[in-house]
Structure 1
Amino acid sequence: MTAESEDQRDNPTDSQSQAQFRQQVRAWCRDHIPADWRDTQTGVGDEEFVRFQKAWFAELHSAGYAVPHWPAEWGGGLPVDRQVVLYQELAAHDAPRLVLAFVGIHHAASTLLVAGTDEQRRRHLPAILDGEIWVQGFSEPEAGSDLAALRTTARRAGDEFVVNGQKLWASGGMHADWCLLLARTDPDAPKRPGARKSAGISYFLMDMTTPGVDVRPIRNAIGDSHFCEIFLDDVRIPAANLIGAENNGWQVAQATLGAERGLTMLELAERLGNAGFRWLVQSAPVDDPIVADRLAGFETEITGLRGLCRQIVERGATGPADASVVKLYYSELLQRLTDFAVEIGGPEAHTVLAKPMSSGWESGSWVLDFVGSWEWTIPGGASEIQRTIIAERGLGLPREPGAA
């Protein structure tokens, strides 16, 4: 679609202010999105990937488009209807994704805004806008979906905590400046009568340059090293970096997980509808009635997902299981859509073994996208965990029995 035809294309649901904003974003996209970014970001090394990601974030930030979901006093404040327009146009113009900044602008920011101190917010929110990179240190070798089983310990030593343990599946850990870390500060808490396994866990902000932090990349099935292990050997974290009250980290973590399962989906749903589905239609044999029927089904599902995401964000206070509904819906839809793309792509689709590092989970390299889609059904709580949350918190069904 040419720039001229885009300007002539109207969205019938846009208000006058939305339409004006849409034209503003379209003009910005035409002037600022690198036309060759897919070629230049395919097969690049880590150093160039980080450079490009930081430069692209700075470009969006200078336009006021990097953190539209943040409060106005911290550089955001864009109304939800304009956020939707922004994400629609960025996806329609095939803009690079903020892969490297994702944890910082969503998970770290939501945690700081909900549970951080004024000093912590003043220290880190402006730094994130200046390019500070974050990683999430939650999962462990024996505590993935059952996160409350974590074994990393944090022992109080004066005005510091001494941390020992291991974290796993830390996305982008090799590039991170800071880490959102969960550690057990009271190992005896879960053993007390009536206590839950999540008792005695605290939430920390950890400087990744602290002595004793060892980051080791993990090569995945695609050949990337997106995931990392983080080993912690007598790492000293100042008590001032504690988020929320000591031993109350599980409650704080719900803000982080809620962001991962909920509000981040507004952008991802628009990406899936405006980029992933569009590319699928362009490559599909639409004259085949079976293919056409499947595509119609996907379009219906994507429309429902986009509407659900927008409704949740506009409503503000979400229900106890809304974020889990969206996360489950999106991740399994993404998996089925990319699987179908591989199926209709035939043998040729299996020969595309590279994708741009700054693309999303629907890059059009369908085999790699399908392999990568499995990542989304696991982090932030696997699909089985989401179904349990929906059943217990959303539908009020009896709690799942614990292990004997």
Structure 2
Amino acid sequence: MTAITSHVRDQHDADLRAEVRQWCRTHVPTDWRAAQTGASDAEFVRFQKEWFATLHSAGYAVGHWPAEWGGGMSVAEQAILFQELAAHDAPRLVLPFVSIHHAASTLLAAGTDEQRRRHLPAILDGEIWCQGFSEPGAGSDMAALSTSARRTGDAYIVNGQKLWASGALHADWCLLLARTDPKAPKRQGISYFLLDMSSPGVDVRPIRQATGESHFCEIFLNDVAIPASGLVGAENDGWRVAQETLGAERGMTMLELAERLGHGGFPWLVELCSAPGPDGSRPLDDTRVSDRLAQLETEITGLRLLASEFVSASSGPADASIVKLYYSELLQRVMDFGAEVGGLAAQTQVRKPLSSGWESGNWVLDFIGSWEWTIPGGTSEIQRTIIAERALGLPREPKVP
């Protein structure tokens, strides 16, 4: 890269940062935390859709999409965007998260032209998606799923149950895996579908969590008809298509989450450690606390660089698993430390803003919620197995008879 090219790029990045910074000052609602704490489901949905529309009108909602579909931002530009949104304490896109990441990446990689034309513009207009992968007997071992899809004429008749479906109560569509060939080896008999959640036979039931929220849901499917046009990829090729979805969950979303942790969660942790306690002393005055902060800052810096590198040029067979594993377990360490420093006062925080992320500043609730990230998209144990076998070339785990 020449000095002139580097200067032009630096100036462009500076101009973009100034633009986003000014936009945030004008458009980020200052009272959203109070309004979203204890908000009803209806208020949460309304706020999330309005915030998404605000970001989309500015060109900031789907920068990771291709330019022809409303995106086209470079990795460096997206990092700047996420840094400024976090620094200005902007709400997160919680409700559209699956739509703009998982659904979009799947449709762009494996969908038909018709499916992309139907759903990508609809997502930009507020269409909400959820993910129907896990089942009561198929969590970490997703290939063990038993939900069935039987071809009947121009449709598939689906029966079964899905679990841990984030946001399913408010979803319009679902990314669904079902078994179309019960006689085939586990990974070869699965197909991938787009399910209209308003279809007859779909029953969604929220699951109350330890934090008091009901972010996850169960989905019961009783003779649900999915048109053959809802099949993504070839029949019985759903396992391969699902890797595109999981790749987004383990990798593409990490850039935003890493910047949020670095520019949102960590500064609040420093602020917490800098505040005087009842006796006037500050936790930061303890060398053990300052050393721990330095260690966490170093780890977060590494995470941000790793996520940026992965999104820029993923080349390794286990890169997505490395980033996902690193983020999820670092998130736990940060929130664990925040809960420890917060002491008894942190135990009294019983609600957090619904439109916040995993780094809301409500340390005990954030710590409880951080454990979620070591489970979906493949548990930490699954990620370590992928890294060991695909990246390090270690012997594969023996198959259970």
TM score, norm. by length of structure 2 = 0.95
Pick one of 142, 159, 165 that aligns with 1:164: 159
Match status 1:349 vs 2:346: yes
Q: Which amino acid aligns with 1:318?
A: S
Distance of 2:360 and 2:156 partners within structure 1: 42
Q: Which amino acid aligns with 1:180?
A: L
Match status 1:282 vs 2:271: yes
Determine the structure 1 residue equivalent to 2:226. Answer: 237
Distance of 1:114 and 1:395 partners within structure 2: 27
Distance of 1:81 and 1:219 partners within structure 2: 39
Pick one of 370, 394, 399 that aligns with 2:396: 399
Where do 4+ consecutive residues of structure 1 move more than 6 Å? none
Determine the structure 2 residue equivalent to 1:183. Answer: 178
Post-superposition CA distance 1:266-320 (Å, at most 9, x none): 00000000000000000012111000000000000000000011111111x4321
Pick one of 93, 96, 105 that aligns with 1:101: 96
Post-superposition CA distance 1:141-183 (Å, at most 9, x none): 0100110000000000011000000000000000000000000
Distance of 2:329 and 2:391 partners within structure 1: 19
> 1:286 is paired with a residue of what secondary structure?
helix
Distance of 1:45 and 1:307 partners within structure 2: 38
Match status 1:294 vs 2:292: yes
Match status 1:56 vs 2:51: yes
Determine the structure 1 residue equivalent to 2:252. Answer: 263
Task: Return closer, same or farther for 1:398/1:63 CA change in 2, 3 Å cut-off.
Answer: same
**Higher alpha-carbon deviation: 227-236 or 284-293:** 284-293
Match status 1:319 vs 2:309: no
Determine the structure 1 residue equivalent to 2:238. Answer: 249
Give the share of equivalent positions with the same residue, in percent: 74
**Higher alpha-carbon deviation: 258-267 or 394-403:** 394-403
**Higher alpha-carbon deviation: 235-244 or 14-23:** 14-23
Post-superposition CA distance 1:175-219 (Å, at most 9, x none): 0000000000000002xxxxxx21100000000000000000000
Match status 1:140 vs 2:138: no
Query: Deviation at 1:80?
Result: 1.3
Determine the structure 2 residue equivalent to 1:382. Answer: 379
Distance of 2:302 and 2:144 partners within structure 1: 35
Distance of 1:183 and 1:263 partners within structure 2: 25
Post-superposition CA distance 1:108-137 (Å, at most 9, x none): 000000000000000000000000000000
Query: Deviation at 1:13?
Result: 13
Determine the structure 2 residue equivalent to 1:360. Answer: 357
TM score, norm. by length of structure 1 = 0.95
Distance of 2:371 and 2:307 partners within structure 1: 21
> 1:203 is paired with a residue of what secondary structure?
strand
Query: Deviation at 1:14?
Result: 7.7
Distance of 2:137 and 2:87 partners within structure 1: 41
Q: CA RMSD in A?
A: 1.1
Determine the structure 1 residue equivalent to 2:21. Answer: 26
Post-superposition CA distance 1:227-267 (Å, at most 9, x none): 00000000000000000000000000000000000010000
Pick one of 20, 40, 44 that aligns with 2:39: 44
Q: Which amino acid aligns with 1:390?
A: I
Spell out the pairing of 1:197-236 with structure 2 (5 A cutoff): 197-236=186-225
Distance of 1:320 and 1:206 partners within structure 2: 30
Q: Which amino acid aligns with 2:33?
A: R
Match status 1:121 vs 2:111: no
Distance of 1:252 and 1:62 partners within structure 2: 31
Post-superposition CA distance 1:30-88 (Å, at most 9, x none): 00000000000000000000000000000000000000000000000011111110000
Distance of 1:179 and 1:204 partners within structure 2: 8
Task: Return closer, same or farther for 1:13/1:214 CA change in 2, 3 Å cut-off.
Answer: farther
> 1:163 is paired with a residue of what secondary structure?
strand
User: Runs of 5+ in structure 1 lacking a partner?
Assistant: 1-11, 191-196
Task: Return closer, same or farther for 1:14/1:354 CA change in 2, 3 Å cut-off.
Answer: farther
Distance of 2:211 and 2:285 partners within structure 1: 32
Distance of 1:14 and 1:310 partners within structure 2: 17
Post-superposition CA distance 1:320-357 (Å, at most 9, x none): 10000000000000011101111111111101111000
Distance of 1:134 and 1:68 partners within structure 2: 18
Post-superposition CA distance 1:346-371 (Å, at most 9, x none): 11110111100000001000010000
Determine the structure 2 residue equivalent to 1:111. Answer: 106
> 1:387 is paired with a residue of what secondary structure?
helix
Distance of 1:175 and 1:225 partners within structure 2: 11
Q: Which amino acid aligns with 2:368?
A: V
Determine the structure 2 residue equivalent to 1:7. Answer: none
Pick one of 323, 330, 335 that aligns with 1:333: 330
